[in-house]
Structure 1
Amino acid sequence: MRFPVLASLAVLCLALPAMAQSPNETLPAQRVDSEGVLELETMVVTGVQPGPGLWKVSKGDHGLWILGTLSPLPSGISWKAEEVESLLELSDQVLGPPGLTIDADIGVFKGLMLLPSALKASKNPDGKTLKEVLPADVYARWTALKPRYFGRDKGIEKKRPLVVANELYAEANRNAGLGQKPVVTPVIEGVLKRRKMKITPTTLKITISDPKAAIKDFTREGVNDVGCFRSALDRVENDIPVMVDRANAWSVGDLDALRALPSERQAGACIAALTSGEFAKKRGMSDVEAQVRAHWLKMAEQALQKNRITFATLPIAELLKPNGYLSYLQAKGYTVEAPL
């Protein structure tokens, strides 16, 4: 059985009203300043957009085509996916994205009994509030942002900073015109459904054999997640226009613009907060990013050796950085071709 609270914490990586728009029109991301004045920021792309081209990894006549994905994307775009759909029709295998799944080897009944404990793990120990667990300067920044994104919600004050950071990030995206609705996945699933094929999962599975003790350890030990929360505040206060630029660049397939933009910052801080403690180390969750990468690379090599045509998705940040996933395949002698 999967523990939703622990699993969602482990995979932490982080809307304007719908209006009628013409194709390729853009909308301004909106922000209200401290005096209540509406500010216009980076324009959000809408309409039908091509997205980025495909990377190709090959050896001989066997090829792995990879689409770089990004989330969030502009909420008003439609993806022109004919190239990907044509390739999916020919693919021998389709690999899912890398990731982490945390399972607990227990029965359903026992799982339901433990659910209250799992829910407590998302709250601060001893009933403390954010004001009590955050440094004064960080809490002051949070109180300035909270009304815009959460109104008078008092319940959020009892949640762990790690959880609040994720919720704040999601709300800021929606307010900037960036949606949480998947764009790429429905296209892939639609083709595979017609072909009666299934996506091959590449997520690393970590099984917790002592779920009851794990929840107690997590609740008792706590998480040093102030850095994660501070990073979330930085992004919401300063980086929303960059996030919009990144989403726009993906939508129109502008790889040069994507390369020029600053890299993501919050995911690393939040993953480190979760996996640096004894709770994680005792259960094989230390250095989880390297474990996830190694597992995906193993499955990608197996697919390349077995299939003539394989399709996969990876976060586009991994495809653009010099030491990303593809650098490991290139070091093993595979030919890597970036889209033009």
Structure 2
Amino acid sequence: MSTIVRLLACLTVACVSPGIPAQEPAAAEPAVLEAVVVSGEQPGPGLWKVTRNGHVLWILGTTRPLPKDMTWLSRDVEAVIAESGEVIMPPHASINVKGGLLGGLLLAPSLIGARNNPDDKTLADVIPADLHARWSVLRQRYLPRDKGVENRRPVFAAFELFEAAIDQAGLSFKDIVTPVVRRAAKRAKVAMTEPGVVLKIDKARAAIKEFKKASLDDLDCLRKTLDLVEGGLDVLRQRANAWAIGDVEALASLTYVDHYRPCQDALMRSAVAEQRGIDELPDQVRQAWLDAVDQALTRHATSFASLGVVTLTEAGGFLEHLRTLGVDIEPPP
């Protein structure tokens, strides 16, 4: 699923960051890694060890984007899964549209149309001139043939630009972890738990119609995305390299402007989202995951989970909430 579709889904489902840190840039320090994207076979990071009453949960911290041409050497993770009694997948939120699958398919054209500004306005009409000047330079570099992007709302324009910049930087948002985890669990006949929340929307078409007319507080989203594309791509390469080679310390130290959170907030805190309780979904999703972990630590001597490393380690993140379960936590070696 593309980033654009993920953001459109925020109309009716919780948005979960793919691994973009929620910090401002740290003071400038010498680069830990060369800003050249690694390739070939790479080991990935070690695992967090969570223990309670002699039972162990191993957690793989994931991140995206990653190097396009790397192959993850997943033998160690597959061995842990084979010894586990349960695999806990990343938490999710899903939507139950009235009319089921057919109803969801019929909404697709409306979702695509929701990307554009109301009243046929262009970006030049809705953002300050200085911001549009910066945008125009980057659009010409990364999206030279995409004329339609000038009609997008700032939040959607931002992510189209970001995805194009990531691609040119030799990186990819492709999820290389989940398919491996699923195959390993299936091969070892280990039960998979997929914690999540289902949001029921009886009038999804009306919600989309409201969204098309609504204003969004998304200028900060575009501004921080431009900041990141202008000056943060090397750090993204370094983070991707750090995950690939298993350098957890470097991964933790390489921070940069968070553009994803203000973009997510622009959608999650819109009137359309708040009126339908969508803004409450992130807390509900986190609790569903914690409940699954609590049960796994009770039932099994060993279990396994994967989760975005930023979601795990940020202030107020999943590791902090895990401690309320009475566990001991050891970071990766």
TM range (shorter): 0.7 to 0.9
Contact 2:117 2:152 in 1 (8 A): yes
Q: In 1, distance between residues paired with 2:271 and 2:140?
A: 35
Q: In 1, distance between residues paired with 2:164 and 2:196?
A: 27
Q: Look up the equivalent residue of 1:11 and give its one-letter code.
A: C
Name the CA shift for 1:94/1:293 in 2 (closer, same or farther; >3 Å). same
Q: 2:230 corresponds to which residue?
A: 237
Structure 1 stretches of at least 4 aligned residues deviating more than 6 Å after TM superposition: none
Aligned residues: 312
Matches within 5 A, 1:188-227: 188-196=181-189, 199-227=192-220
TM, length-normalised to structure 2: 0.86
Say if 2:131 is the partner of 1:129.
no
Contact 1:62 1:308 in 2 (8 A): yes
- Of residues 43, 68, 82, the one that matches 1:50 is 43
Say if 2:170 is the partner of 1:168.
no
In the TM superposition, residue 5 of structure 1 has moved relative to its aligned partner by 6.9
Q: In 1, distance between residues paired with 2:106 and 2:324?
A: 49
In the TM superposition, residue 97 of structure 1 has moved relative to its aligned partner by 1.1
Q: Look up the equivalent residue of 2:8 and give its one-letter code.
A: L
Gap regions ≥5 residues in structure 2: 19-33
Secondary structure at 2:303's aligned position in 1? strand
Gap regions ≥5 residues in structure 1: 15-40
Contact 1:5 1:119 in 2 (8 A): no
In the TM superposition, residue 67 of structure 1 has moved relative to its aligned partner by 0.2
Q: 2:8 corresponds to which residue?
A: 6
- Bigger shift: residues 325-334 or 186-195: 186-195
Q: Look up the equivalent residue of 2:82 and give its one-letter code.
A: E
Q: In 1, distance between residues paired with 2:9 and 2:303?
A: 28
Secondary structure at 2:279's aligned position in 1? coil
Say if 2:301 is the partner of 1:297.
no
Q: 1:26 corresponds to which residue?
A: none
Structure with greater contact order relative to length (CA < 8 Å, sep ≥ 6): 2
TM, length-normalised to structure 1: 0.84
Contact 1:7 1:101 in 2 (8 A): no
Secondary structure at 1:42's aligned position in 2? coil
- Of residues 243, 265, 284, the one that matches 1:250 is 243
Q: Look up the equivalent residue of 1:72 and give its one-letter code.
A: P
CA RMSD, 1 decimal? 2.3
Say if 2:331 is the partner of 1:330.
no
Contact 2:81 2:188 in 1 (8 A): no
Q: Look up the equivalent residue of 1:49 and give its one-letter code.
A: Q
Q: In 1, distance between residues paired with 2:284 and 2:36?
A: 38
Contact 2:82 2:190 in 1 (8 A): no
Q: In 1, distance between residues paired with 2:94 and 2:293?
A: 18
Q: In 1, distance between residues paired with 2:98 and 2:56?
A: 37
Per-residue CA shift, 1:140-166, capped at 9, x if unaligned?
111000111111321111122211212
In the TM superposition, residue 108 of structure 1 has moved relative to its aligned partner by 4.5
Q: In 2, distance between residues paired with 1:268 and 1:168?
A: 16
Contact 2:90 2:194 in 1 (8 A): yes
